[in-house]
Structure 1
Amino acid sequence: AIFPYFLVPGMIKWTALLWIILWISQNARGQGLCPNSVRQQVDFNIIYQNLTYYQAEKPIQNIAINTEDKQIYIGSQNIIEGIDSHLQKIWEVKTGPIGSPDCQTCKLADVEIDPSDPVDTDNEVLLIDPTAYLFPYLYVCGSTQHGICYIIDYSQPLEKPQCLYKQWQNTQFICPDCVASPLGTRMIIVEQGATSYFFVANTVNDKVTEKYPRRSISVLRPLSTEDGFELVMSGFTVLPNLRQSYKIDYIYSFATEDFVYFLSLQREDASKSNSPFRTHLGRLPVGIHEVWMYREVVLECRYVPKRRRRETASNLAKQLGLDVGEKVLYGVFAPVSETGRIGKESMLCVFSLKQANQAIEEGVKTVISRALKPFTEQYRNTQTCMNQNATLSKPMIRERYHNMFKSS
């Protein structure tokens, strides 16, 4: 089983640069320019002097970077902080604990509070509006108060945050303004025309879906009145009989011109708690917000040792079947045991988004051509079950030089 630490989209030119550096390094050793040395363990006890830094009081859970104003926004438990280019705090907004007189967001919405819920607010979402030149907004969604969101105007951060919650349109059974899950949320904002769309992926269980429900995958649009959301796509959620036993961890999301992608980690077999883990790449079209357009493909990162001759960057790209300028996905993977324990070794894999999309389309054609009956799905629509085109399992496999990327 393979566990992905993180995945980041990029361009093949950066891949070429990386391998050029490695190629130069290897050739330099061969020519005797650089002496061979025994690999040493990283010394984490070294103290660096005179480095600029900012020390948060609690572990940082989210970061957003404002390149225009040269500011950094960090989200930790119970607080959002604005940091300038010199790493000095310039403002803060307290988001918890619930019931604390210091909390600046707790009393903005008339939300029913479950006494059994935790009072500390974990930062689940921290995103800058893509139309920042019109709306200098920072969207913040926490683990408390049923995952509702707030707007912080970072051009006037001392003003009261705006609550995205319209009381009359939310109930215990239907809650479009309940966005984030305390079990984990990945969200990305995509601008289309003059509208910002929020693509949301949540890890859920029975408790998260029972009252003020949140969905596994959904698409939202903030209302022009800036007091709530409209469900553009009602979304879909893990089947009730699997919500406690089959956990889907969403670990990353990103967007291209055509699609929004979600990276998730889940068991290979939903009926077996000890089955291997797999990394899924799911996608939704940017312009078609329909449940039946959701697709998935499995990503696999394997190492097959064999002798390779030294390659230039252009030859390496050709060997990988990549074109210059092609979008790729970088992922660092590590083996994980049946019990969920992560191994110490890791390796870097590069996936072509073009090839991933081709694999998805080929899988759809295969399913249609075989005229298969609907198979067991992990998801369901609020009205109808998803058809058999929704989940595909053709792996994208790439081999890499794992010895260059071992973790210590």
Structure 2
Amino acid sequence: MFILRRTKMRIQYSEDISILIILQTLWWGLNSQCEEPIESSKLDLSVTYDLPHFVSDTPIQKLLEFNGTVYVGAVDKLYALSKDLKKIHEYNTGPVHEGQDCSAPDPCSGCKNKPLNMNNTNMALLVETFYDLELFSCGSVGNGVCRRYLLEDGPLDAEITCMYSKKNKDSSHGCPDCLAGPSGTQILNVMSSGVVRFFVANSEPLDSTVPRLHHTISVRKMRETQDGFEFFSEQSYMDLAPGLRGNYPLRYVYSFQSGPYVYFLTVQREGGSLNAFHTRIIRMCSSDPEILRYVEMPFECIYSERRRKKRSVQVVFNVLQAAHVAKVGYDFQQEMGLKEGEDVLFAAFARSKPDSPEPTASSAVCLISITDINNFFRDFMQKGYTRKLSHFPGSEEKNFNQTTHSTNRTPTSPAFMWKHRASDTVLQF
């Protein structure tokens, strides 16, 4: 019927011809047999594919590609692989001499009187190129102190520096050299104004007995001697409120830089007396040596299912599982009306079990441009839809009297945050 209608609209006298063709086709179909499928169309399930692969001796935690080399951080191992995943070099990072009654003078030396009984899990892996071409590997041993590998000198073990300075031993800011926490760490290194800033976020477990050696979120720089780290000031870090430690799980899932900002994505409780979990996106200025312009906002992936003669049903995917930022491709650029080269966040979400961060089998992948995220932050701060942070102490009230700007999307449910203030609107996409 659709073909007949289109033909009649274009050529008025073609209706009889169109009907004749259709009737003749039907007649041929009644008097002929369907052809037998040819043998070559059968799917050959016996075909095997020899894909490039690498098998680690121990579980892999981190993966990083730089200048055609793939660096793999695994338990007690650090590998350098070629593009086709052939092993170039292997370096042992554990087991180490460590224990609860260890009295080593610094985390680098370990306890020589202890057996090799502590595995070293790779918690962070990053490359820095401003000072030198160097790789940082931060493990679970030695209070999360990192080791620095100079990549210009050949193998990974050509020159290694343990990033611990004895000058920091009595620091009033805790342990500046202790980057990687035992419950998971996201580290982002950004060069700004001639200084490399290391933004570090450590997950908070449901365990009040864990020693507090690591700040929850911080920014620090490398010492000029390149043997450790230091904070810019006491405003360069924030910690979870003392009353929440041990009963407020906070997991940092992903971090990235886009434009003048650095971002962290977390899964945590909705706050207050609520036990439900959700995802939040955090934004800070990459040029700040202190945590002054900190803002966070709840972040959800929404799927709308339309049903006949019924209202659409919205499914909320609340807990982030993984994410990745990339430049927008041509298809998404056209579909979303974005500029060429814009950053887009791809985020894999799941629906969690009731009052738990544990995911169910129901999941979805959503994407949103970083421009849209920044528009949400800008609009709600300028409109004053903000409130103080509840889980980080020391936040301040501020008011904005700037001209407001509207976005193309209208948020529908409350919750948003900033270090000095926080609002009540969820970013949904």
Normalising by structure 2, report the TM-score.
0.68
Partner secondary structure for residue 226 of structure 1: coil
CA deviations over 1:328-348 (Å, ceiling 9, x no partner): 211121211124442223222
Distance 1:111 1:168, change over 3 A: farther
> Could you report, residue by residue, the CA deviation over 1:370-401 in whole angstroms, capped at 9, with x for unpaired residues?
xx8x6462113xxx445474244422222xxx
SS at match of 1:356: helix
User: 2:303 aligns to what SS in structure 1?
Assistant: coil
Unaligned 5+ segments in structure 2 are 1-44, 99-104, 308-328, 399-417
Number of residues paired by the alignment?
329
Q: For 2:72, which of 64, 74, 81 is the aligned residue?
A: 74
Secondary structure of the equivalent of 2:361?
coil
Going from structure 1 to structure 2, the CA distance change for 1:203 and 1:172 (only over 3 Å counts) comes to: farther
Bigger Cα displacement from structure 2, 85-94 vs 157-166: 85-94
Alignment partner, residue 5 of structure 1: none
Query: Which of 353, 360, 374 pairs up with 2:377?
Result: 360
Task: Kindly indicate whether structure 1 or structure 2 has the higher relative contact order, using CA contacts under 8 Å at least 6 residues apart.
Answer: 1
**Residues 305, 141 of structure 1: CA spacing in aligned structure 2 closer, same or farther, 3 A cutoff?**
same
Counterpart of 1:355 in 2: which secondary structure? Answer: helix
Report the residue type matching 1:294 in the other structure: Y
One-letter code aligned to 2:390: E
Q: Does the 8 A contact of 1:259 with 1:283 survive in 2?
A: yes
Secondary structure of 1:379's match?
coil
- Does 1:148 pair with 2:145? yes
Question: Is this contact kept in 2: 1:379–1:386, CA < 8 A?
Answer: no
| Preserved CA contact (<8 Å) 1:130 1:190 | no
Alignment check: 8 A CA contact 2:107 2:164 kept: no
**Which residue in the other structure is 2:129 paired with?**
130
* 1:121–1:142 contact (8 Å) kept in structure 2: yes
> Residue 59 and residue 46 in structure 1: after superposition, are their counterparts in 2 closer, same or farther (change >3 A)?
farther
Displacement, 1:49?
A: 4.0
Mark the structure with the bigger radius of gyration.
2
Query: Per-residue CA shift, 1:182-207, capped at 9, x if unaligned?
Result: 10000111122432211111113545
Q: What is the aligned partner in structure 2 of residue 238 from structure 1?
A: 240
Q: In structure 1, the residue corresponding to 2:90 is in which secondary structure?
A: strand
Aligned match of 1:268: 270
**Cα–Cα, structure 1 residues 161 and 319, in superposed 2: closer, same or farther, change >3 Å?**
closer
Compared with structure 1, are the counterparts of its residues 295 and 385 closer, same or farther at alpha carbon in structure 2 (3 Å cutoff)? closer
Q: Is the 8 A contact 2:58 2:77 kept in 1?
A: no
Superimposed CA distance per residue, residues 107-148 of structure 1 (whole angstroms, 9 cap, x where no aligned partner): 8724689x9xx82111011111133xx612100111111111
Matches within 5 A, 1:92-111: 92-99=90-97, 109-110=108-109
- Structure 1 residues not aligned, in runs of 5+: 1-44, 101-105, 308-312, 399-408
Change (3 A) 1:283 1:88: same
% identical equivalent positions:
26
Aligned to 1:182: 182
- Secondary structure of the 1:238 match is coil
How many angstroms does 1:80 deviate by?
Answer: 0.8
Q: For the Cα contact (< 8 Å) 1:351–1:396, is it kept in 2?
A: no
1:73 CA displacement: 0.7
The 8 Å contact of residues 300 and 395 in structure 1, kept in 2 or not, is answered as yes
Say if 1:314 and 1:253 are closer, same or farther in 2 by CA, change over 3 A.
Answer: closer
1:17-96 correspondence runs (5 A): 48-67=48-67, 70-96=68-94
CA contact (8 A) 1:223 1:229 kept: yes
User: Which residue of the partner structure matches residue 378 of structure 1?
Assistant: 391
Distance 1:107 1:170 in 2: 9
Instruction: Note the aligned Cα RMSD (angstroms).
Output: 3.3
TM-score with structure 1 setting the length: 0.72
- SS of match in other structure, 1:292: coil
Cα 1:270–1:144 change in 2 (3 A) is: farther
